[in-house]
């Protein structure tokens, strides 16, 4: 849910994925994160902060209906 100003903040997990199949004995690579941001019109600014390490947060700007950045890994 958004507050009156379009802001949100939630705790969750982030799982880093990799190419290829997942092995049956593979353990999940979930890390605790804080998802926070603000929605204004069709734009969302999303900040993902890893709470288990002192790393710079990742910041994303998403536009509803806008093109995604999908690319083939080499």
pLDDT in tens, 7-52: 999 999 998 877 778 888 988 788 999 999 999 999 999 999 999 9
pLDDT reported for residue 72: 65
Q: What global pTM score does this model have?
A: 0.78
Beta carbons within 10 angstroms of residue 66's beta carbon: 9
The Cα 15–Cα 55 span in angstroms is 16
Give the 3-state secondary structure of residue 11.
Answer: strand
Given a cut of 80, whether residue 71 has pLDDT beyond it is no
């Amino acid at each position: 849910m958004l507050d009156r100003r379009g802001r949100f903040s939630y705790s969750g997990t982030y799982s880093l994925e990799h190419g290829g199949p997942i092995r049956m004995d593979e353990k999940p690579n979930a890390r605790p994160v804080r998802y926070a941001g603000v929605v204004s019109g069709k734009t969302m600014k999303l900040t993902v902060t890893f709470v288990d390490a002192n790393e710079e947060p990742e910041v994303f700007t998403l536009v509803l209906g806008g093109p995604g950045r999908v690319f083939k890994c080499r």
